[in-house]
Amino acid sequence: MSSLSIAVIGSGVIGSTLGRRFAQSGHRVTFGARDVANAELMKTAEEIGAQVATVDGAIDGSEVVLWAIPGPAMAEAIAPAATRLAGKIVIDATNRAGEGDLNSLDVIARYAPSTHAYRAFNTVGWENFADPNYGEIVGDLVFCGPDGDPRETVEQVIGATGLRPVYVGDGGKAGWTVSQLSGSPSRSSGAWGAAWDSRSLLGDHYRPTSGKMAA
């Protein structure tokens, strides 16, 4: 499985946890930050062998760009980066809490329509990225976006966390489905069981992907 160059935009608990997991799986990670001298971010990057760059620099040097910033800030962040994002795989890991639609796929389509945009990493808490195993059970992560080769790359990115990718399709309905699962219980709530039984949630649409897990 080839190594990917991944830009993680956002260095909060979600971005830093995902960046760590990607690096542990052998991918080349660059954190994109407004403050490249942030001591905590530099320490994290040094620990995992990642780089720190400006947002523009991180995007330019990566084939996959994952956004892990506050959801309401997505439009402001995507607009000036639109040219740089052209043709890249973009993963929306944000939630626009309190707005009509939790996902930012519409924002990405509006400003950067030539990207391959996916919705993932928004349905469970960060602790599930750090440890996706529950005894003998491996957690599922639902995602949506266009079919084709870029989808396989996104499955590889998800697999780097140890979670099992479950594809639910493309288009508005698929995005809505993933957003609705954003309310699923997390590990820390003590009620995580239902969140991981994707069969009961998705029924006939349950389509786990085999062969994409990280070693």
Rounded to the nearest 10 degrees, what angle do helices 39-48 and 13-24 cross at? 20
Copy the structure tokens of residue 18: 């995902």
In a domain? residue 215: no
What pLDDT, on the 0 to 100 scale, is given for residue 79?
Answer: 96
Euclidean distance between the first and the last CA atom of the chain, given in angstroms as a whole number? 9
Q: What is the DSSP string of 29-82?
A: EEEE-S-TT-HHHHHHHHHHT-EEE-HHHHHHT-SEEEE-S-GGGHHHHHHHHH
In a domain? residue 124: yes
What pLDDT, on the 0 to 100 scale, is given for residue 187?
Answer: 43
pLDDT, the chain, mean: 82
Write out pLDDT tens, residues 124-141: 888 889 988 878 888 888
Write out pLDDT tens, residues 112-123: 999 999 999 988
With a cut of 60, say whether residue 201 has pLDDT above it. no
In a domain? residue 214: no
In a domain? residue 101: yes
- Range list of H helices, the chain: 13-24, 39-48, 55-60, 74-85, 105-111, 127-130, 149-159, 171-180, 193-196, 198-202
In a domain? residue 210: no
pLDDT band at 179 (very low <50, low <70, confident <90, very high): low
In a domain? residue 45: yes
**How many angstroms separate the CA atoms of 10 and 118, rounded?**
17
| Structural domains in the chain (count) | 1
Copy the structure tokens of residue 119: 């919705």
In a domain? residue 166: yes
Give the position of tokens 């995007």: 59
- According to DSSP, residue 18 is labeled H
Write out pLDDT tens, residues 13-49: 999 999 999 999 999 999 999 999 999 999 999 999 9
With a cut of 70, say whether residue 99 has pLDDT above it. no
Which has the minimum average pLDDT: 74-88, 168-182, 188-202?
Answer: 188-202
Domain that holds residue 201: 5-205
- According to DSSP, residue 182 is labeled G
Within its chain, how far is the Cα of 207 from the centroid? 18
163-201 burial code (b ≥16 CB/10 A, e <16)? bbbbbbbbeeebbbbbbebeebeebeeeebeebbebeeb
**How many angstroms separate the CA atoms of 59 and 62, rounded?**
5
**How many angstroms separate the CA atoms of 58 and 60, rounded?**
6
Percentage of the chain with pLDDT > 90? 59
In a domain? residue 212: no
**How many angstroms separate the CA atoms of 68 and 22, rounded?**
14
Report the CATH number that the domain containing residue 117 is assigned in CATH. 3.40.50.720
Which has the minimum average pLDDT: 4-13, 162-171, 184-193?
Answer: 184-193
